[in-house]
Structure 1
Amino acid sequence: MARATGKSEAVYERLKQDIESLRLKPGAKLSEIQLGEELGASRTPVREAIRRLSREGLVDFAPGELARVAAISLGGVRSLFEFRMTLESEAAAQVAAQTQVQERALDAFQQLLSQLEMFEESFRAMDAAQQARSFQDFYTLTESFDQHIIAFCRNPYLARAIREMRSQSLRLRHLSHTGPSRMLTSLDEHRVMIKAIVNGDSPAAAAACRHHLTQTLQALIDSLIGAPYEAGVEVRLDSAG
């Protein structure tokens, strides 16, 4: 039983990574047999992993059809970001208060600010080809910011809710940062958020977080409406979530 559970976890992590990175596109069919052959697993751990991903909103089931990677809808994207703005702006405000009483939190964001500024200086000096290859480094920095927010948020229920939204958000980030210009703007937005947190300015941290998410949402909508099939992504232009 322990072996099956471990295999199910491994299959789950692999499928989750493939969905988040868009290696498995929205709308892609998920055959238990085919995935089992590809991943070297029996149907049971594959089925368990798919059902777990379904509970997280990353996989859909249609009557009489195979499971599919959940489609992206504009309505769903807007709803997700509305929820994120509510939760994450409050979390940013709480973390800003924490940096004034918890040295470990202050050190973490000061170090992140230094890393962000070094990355930006290096990025601006790159040619276009080098910049294109550096997106993963940018994602690593922004992921560190998000994880710091979760780690130092005072309210554990709030932190858990933000953590549970991560998978939905991660598969969208590849579509919201469509080029160097947006990435540099996002770096500026993160700098403003981090400085507000380091300075212990809770209202400024919350406002900067809402601004960043508003701008990210608009960039994402522009990308999805403007050229949704360039990335091979199925997008529903409806209001459903």
Structure 2
Amino acid sequence: MARATGKSEVVYERLKGDIESLRLRPGAKLSEVQLSEELGASRTPVREAIRRLAGEGLVDFVPGEVARVAPISLGGARALFEFRMLLEPRAAASVATAGAADERVLVPFRGLLERLEEFDESFRALDAAEQARSYQKFYDMSEGFDQALIAACRNPYLARTIRDLRSQTARLRNLSHSGPRRMLTSLEEHRAMLKAVTQGDAPAAEAACRHHLAQTLRALIDSLTGQDFAIGADVQLDAAH
């Protein structure tokens, strides 16, 4: 799909950011007229941005009807994470293997591990209110790990597929890291992944990544069932999950 430019790109980035951050809630209406007024743009770039977001699965759009932010469903979240568990642990293992042969691959991961250790020490010393204001720093490091993994993955098809899922996973991340307890456990999970990668331990990197994704899915399910989201009809939890 061709990349939009100019005003359409600005509108796209704004709407995408609002959807991923949950400022625009699942199920929210996306009126072209209202968005045009709010964003200071004509309806054409707004329409182009909505269609582009629909192509990424972030918006439900039927021509002639009002578009809506795509709902978040338990079934959809599970399916996404099952797919991620097939891809990302394999990528982590391949990067660890590549790093064992070429230490230059490990440079960004060592830097992230150092930043993570510094953040951990300072985060634990903060009160609850200060911790809440620090969440974005951790999100940035988490995103940094994901992007470093994509960049270092030697299989271009695997890297591209993981990258293409980022739009879907971004807003789920903002749900799953819903409090300081999950923040700290996620921090430990990222530490384990980073240590395994920087040590060139492919089996440990694969296992740590799979464990992190499984725990993130559990936190996400807990968050979805405890908040007022448009989560669709498939909300019954299977005991096996």
Identical aligned pairs, as a percentage? 70
RMSD: 1.5
Distance in 2 between the 1:93 and 1:22 partners? Answer: 32
Distance in 2 between the 1:113 and 1:189 partners? Answer: 12
One-letter amino acid of the structure 1 residue matched with residue 231 of structure 2 = V
Summarize the alignment of residues 37-116 of structure 1 with structure 2, pairs less than 5 Å apart: 37-62=37-62, 65-116=65-116
Distance in 2 between the 1:237 and 1:190 partners? Answer: 33
Distance in 2 between the 1:43 and 1:181 partners? Answer: 43
Pair 1:238-2:237 in alignment: no
How far the C-alpha of 1:64 sits from its partner, in A, is 5.4
Instruction: With the length of structure 1 as denominator, give the TM-score of the two structures.
Output: 0.93
Distance in 2 between the 1:63 and 1:46 partners? Answer: 14
How far the C-alpha of 1:37 sits from its partner, in A, is 1.0
Matched-pair contact (CA < 8 Å) for 1:228–1:234: no
Post-superposition CA distance 1:160-216 (Å, at most 9, x none): 111111111110111101211111000100111111101111111111101000000
Distance in 2 between the 1:102 and 1:48 partners? Answer: 43
One-letter amino acid of the structure 2 residue matched with residue 70 of structure 1 = A
Distance in 2 between the 1:62 and 1:44 partners? Answer: 16
How far the C-alpha of 1:222 sits from its partner, in A, is 0.9
SS at match of 1:41: coil
Distance in 1 between the 2:44 and 2:134 partners? Answer: 38
Distance in 2 between the 1:5 and 1:182 partners? Answer: 38
Distance in 1 between the 2:124 and 2:9 partners? Answer: 40
One-letter amino acid of the structure 1 residue matched with residue 123 of structure 2 = F
One-letter amino acid of the structure 2 residue matched with residue 6 of structure 1 = G
Distance in 2 between the 1:74 and 1:217 partners? Answer: 10
Matched-pair contact (CA < 8 Å) for 1:90–1:206: yes
SS at match of 2:68: strand
How far the C-alpha of 1:237 sits from its partner, in A, is 4.5
Which stretch shifts more, 131-140 or 61-70? 61-70
Partner of 2:185: 185
One-letter amino acid of the structure 1 residue matched with residue 184 of structure 2 = L
Pair 1:228-2:227 in alignment: yes
Matched-pair contact (CA < 8 Å) for 1:5–1:45: no
Distance in 1 between the 2:190 and 2:40 partners? Answer: 41
Gaps of 5+ in 1: none
How far the C-alpha of 1:111 sits from its partner, in A, is 1.1
Post-superposition CA distance 1:67-93 (Å, at most 9, x none): 000000100000000011111011101
Summarize the alignment of residues 83-232 of structure 1 with structure 2, pairs less than 5 Å apart: 83-225=83-225, 227-229=226-228
Distance in 1 between the 2:175 and 2:169 partners? Answer: 10
How far the C-alpha of 1:239 sits from its partner, in A, is 6.7
SS at match of 1:68: strand
Matched-pair contact (CA < 8 Å) for 1:93–1:202: yes
